A and B are shown apart, each in its own frame.
Chain A
Amino acid sequence: EPEVTQTPSHQVTQMGQEVILRCVPISNHLYFYWYRQILGQKVEFLVSFYNNEISEKSEIFDDQFSVERPDGSNFTLKIRSTKLEDSAMYFCASGGEVGEQFFGPGTRLTVL
């Protein structure tokens, strides 16, 4: 069964450093999403992406964040200058026209 994959599973970085989180969505999906979950809190929407552009972004998704689909398979989330409060699980999801979203296993980002 096709699934969303994410790499790395755990990323440790120093405050102020740039990180890139990578996702490979399900191959025939057209809609892509990033969510995050701070430990003990709700899953929060960050951004959605369709047709090579951002469809919607939340207040969390400020100028420090960017997304890219550099080729036909990868979908990346970049945080330019990480802050302590960026420490969280980051989930990539993809979906088709039906509206169901399929999530990856997540990347745990730890900012020191």
Chain B
Amino acid sequence: DAKTTQPPSMDCAEGRAANLPCNHSTISGNEYVYWYRQIHSQGPQYIIHGLKNNETNEMASLIITEDRKSSTLILPHATLRDTAVYYCIVRVAYNTDKLIFGTGTRLQVFP
């Protein structure tokens, strides 16, 4: 799996959009970008994944650059409950192997 780089921490005001970047310059053609988050020692929670097109679900949007070397997870209206560590993971889709977690980005949403 390709390596990812994320900023260690970010702040966001409640109600504003939180934009979390991830660099994955060594991503392969068959690898997808997955995002998980972990709220204060709870189990990691799947958020979204994508290959090259932008993706949106009820939790977030995922914007992947055209060259696929980086992506941004967008929480459109952050709430205090979105305070968590966000992990960007690159892996082959439909792959049932282990997830490899890095250190992620600690997002702090403030009132």
- By a beta-carbon cutoff of 8 Å, the part of chain A in contact with chain B is 4, 31, 33, 35, 37, 42-45, 48, 50, 55-56, 58, 89, 91, 93, 95, 97-106
The size class of the interface chain B forms with chain A is 20 to 34
Please, how many angstroms separate the alpha-carbon atoms of A41 and B92 in the complex?
25
Provide a sorted-by-A list of 6 A–B residue pairs whose CB atoms are within 8 angstroms. A42-B102, A48-B97, A89-B41, A99-B96, A103-B45, A106-B43
Cβ-neighbour of A45 out of B45, B46, B100, B103 (below 8 A): B100
Q: A97-B94, A99-B94, A101-B46 are in contact. Are A45 and B41 (CB under 8 A)?
A: no
A6 to chain B minimum Cβ distance, whole angstroms, is 8
Docked-complex contact B98 and A99, CB < 8 angstroms:
no
Q: A43-B38, A99-B91 are in contact. Are A105 and B96 (CB under 8 A)?
A: no
B95 within 8 A of partner (CB): yes
Please, how many angstroms separate the alpha-carbon atoms of A101 and B34 in the complex?
11
Docked-complex contact A56 and B44, CB < 8 angstroms:
no
Docked-complex contact A91 and B46, CB < 8 angstroms:
no
Number of A-B contacts (CB under 8 A): 56
B66 to chain A minimum Cβ distance, whole angstroms, is 24
Docked-complex contact A106 and B94, CB < 8 angstroms:
no
Docked-complex contact B46 and A99, CB < 8 angstroms:
no
B110 within 8 A of partner (CB): no
A90 to chain B minimum Cβ distance, whole angstroms, is 10
B46 to chain A minimum Cβ distance, whole angstroms, is 5
A residues less than 8 Å from B49 (CB atoms): 100
Please, how many angstroms separate the alpha-carbon atoms of A37 and B41 in the complex?
9
Docked-complex contact A93 and B43, CB < 8 angstroms:
yes
A residues less than 8 Å from B102 (CB atoms): 42
B residues less than 8 Å from A93 (CB atoms): 43-44
Known: A35-B99, A43-B101. 10 other contacts (CB 8 A): A44-B101, A45-B98, A48-B97, A55-B96, A89-B41, A98-B93, A99-B91, A99-B93, A101-B99, A104-B43
